[in-house]
């Protein structure tokens, strides 16, 4: 893969993910590499991933190179203070401030990994067939801003007994560099973690491994998906895989039997995703064929988080009108 191709596909993948993160603020970026350090985009991203604000970081407009570098240092420090990034993560603020592609992508990748692991822990709960059980815990991926130690708080959390007697508190703390203090910001969704029947290891698997496993789990929920042996990210260029994932969330939306397995059909499926989720990704069939790990994982992370939220919202509407 040439350098320009790699940069372009990562821009598209990370832009998809960051636009998901900025949805609550009604903001969206066209190009994460050029737009992240414009206006208040960085400030809003920090608020989205930490659940907190910092007075030090406001607008990035009309700042000198030195001021940009300083604010990038402050941003990394804030993420470490909020337990989002491990203390040993190093970010070259000088390169980041001048929008060096590798520096920006490496920084964003550490944030995307956290979202992938967050979802990987909770996907068994989100794949329930019982609408009432599914709606018992709303999916939220923005932290509350309150830090608690879940190794203590989960012992007193009401309702956990209904998810079985096995205690998994130790399995969901101190994983992948995230402390129990950070995980405690997601107390509202912790019941999703305890629901899991899988063995959640004390160390998170590689992010791409988690993405592959989650795709496999969703494929098993639809008839066409059960006929697919999905084992690696490059297989997302198979139209059947992408359409099966979409059809789980919106049944029978894309009839794969009448579409050719080609780039035009892949682009159509990607356009449908953006239209349904009301979020612009700019990903193309070319990106699925290139299958860069960072780009694909960032896109699928966006795809799953927003579609699972959409799934819950659909059931909530049906419950409100009394159709289930």
Task: Judge contact between 200 and 193, C-beta under 8 A.
Answer: yes
Highest mean pLDDT among 45-59, 151-165, 270-284, 293-307: 293-307
Q: How far is CA 68 from CA 36, 71, 197, in A?
A: 12, 5, 46
C-alpha–C-alpha distance, residues 66 and 139, integer Å = 40
- How many C-beta neighbours within 10 Å does residue 110 have? 17
C-alpha–C-alpha distance, residues 46 and 78, integer Å = 8
Taking residues 37-62, what's their average pLDDT? 92
Task: Judge contact between 11 and 33, C-beta under 8 A.
Answer: yes
Residue 281 reports pLDDT greater than 90: no
Establish if 289 belongs to a structural domain. Answer: yes
pTM of the model: 0.86
Task: Judge contact between 75 and 98, C-beta under 8 A.
Answer: no
pLDDT at 35: 95
Taking residues 296-313, what's their average pLDDT? 96
Establish if 240 belongs to a structural domain. Answer: yes
Establish if 77 belongs to a structural domain. Answer: no
Establish if 98 belongs to a structural domain. Answer: no
Residue 181 reports pLDDT greater than 50: no
C-alpha–C-alpha distance, residues 301 and 304, integer Å = 5
C-alpha–C-alpha distance, residues 13 and 108, integer Å = 11
C-alpha–C-alpha distance, residues 123 and 137, integer Å = 12
Phi, psi of 175 (to 5 degrees): -105, 140
Q: For the segment 103-145, what is each residue's pLDDT rounded down to a tens digit? A: 999 999 999 999 999 999 999 999 999 999 999 999 999 887 5
Q: Which of 193-202, 219-228, 305-314 has the lowest mean pLDDT?
A: 193-202
pLDDT at 185: 67
Establish if 241 belongs to a structural domain. Answer: yes
Residue 189 reports pLDDT greater than 90: no
pLDDT at 249: 96
pLDDT at 187: 77
Q: For the segment 56-91, what is each residue's pLDDT rounded down to a tens digit? A: 999 999 999 999 999 999 999 999 999 899 888 899
Phi, psi of 131 (to 5 degrees): -60, -40
Of residues 128 and 2, more confidently modeled: 128
Of residues 256 and 31, more confidently modeled: 31
The residue segments making up the domain with residue 191 are 110-132+185-323
pLDDT at 139: 93
pLDDT at 172: 36
Q: How far is CA 294 from CA 22, 172, 234, 252, 301, in A?
A: 19, 24, 12, 30, 10
Domain total of the chain: 1
The pLDDT-based confidence of 160 (bands split at 50, 70, 90) is very low
Establish if 35 belongs to a structural domain. Answer: no
Establish if 87 belongs to a structural domain. Answer: no
Establish if 152 belongs to a structural domain. Answer: no
Q: Which residues pair with 178 in a beta bridge?
A: 175
C-alpha–C-alpha distance, residues 278 and 280, integer Å = 7
């Amino acid at each position: 893969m040439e350098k320009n191709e790699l940069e372009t596909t990562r821009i598209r993948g990370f832009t998809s993910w960051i636009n998901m993160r900025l949805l609550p603020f009604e903001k969206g970026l066209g190009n994460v590499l050029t737009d992240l350090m414009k206006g208040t985009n960085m400030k809003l991203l920090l608020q989205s991933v930490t659940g907190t604000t910092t007075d030090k970081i406001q607008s990035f407009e009309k700042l000198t190179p030195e001021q940009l570098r300083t604010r990038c240092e402050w941003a990394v420090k804030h993420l470490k203070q909020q337990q989002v990034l491990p203390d040993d993560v190093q970010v070259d603020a000088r390169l980041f401030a001048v929008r060096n592609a590798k520096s920006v992508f490496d920084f964003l990748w550490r944030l995307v990994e956290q979202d992938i692991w967050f979802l990987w822990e909770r996907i068994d709960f989100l794949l329930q067939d019982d609408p009432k059980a599914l709606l018992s815990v709303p999916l939220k991926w923005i932290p509350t801003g309150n830090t608690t130690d879940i190794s203590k708080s989960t012992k007193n959390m009401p309702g956990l007994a209904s998810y079985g007697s096995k205690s998994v508190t130790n399995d969901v703390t101190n994983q992948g560099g995230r402390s129990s203090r950070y995980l405690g910001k997601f107390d509202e969704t912790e019941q999703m973690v305890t629901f899991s029947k899988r063995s959640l290891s004390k160390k998170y698997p590689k992010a791409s491994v988690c993405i592959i496993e989650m795709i496999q789990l969703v494929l098993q929920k639809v008839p066409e998906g059960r006929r697919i042996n999905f084992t690696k990210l490059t297989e997302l260029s198979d139209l059947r895989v992408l359409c099966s994932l979409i059809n789980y969330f919106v049944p029978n939306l894309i009839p794969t039997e009448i579409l050719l397995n080609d780039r035009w059909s892949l682009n159509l499926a990607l356009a449908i995703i953006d239209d349904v989720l009301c979020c612009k990704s700019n990903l193309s069939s070319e990106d699925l064929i290139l299958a860069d790990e960072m780009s694909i994982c960032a896109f699928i992370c966006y795809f799953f988080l927003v579609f699972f939220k959409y799934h819950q919202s659909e059931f909530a509407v049906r419950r409100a009108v009394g159709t289930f």
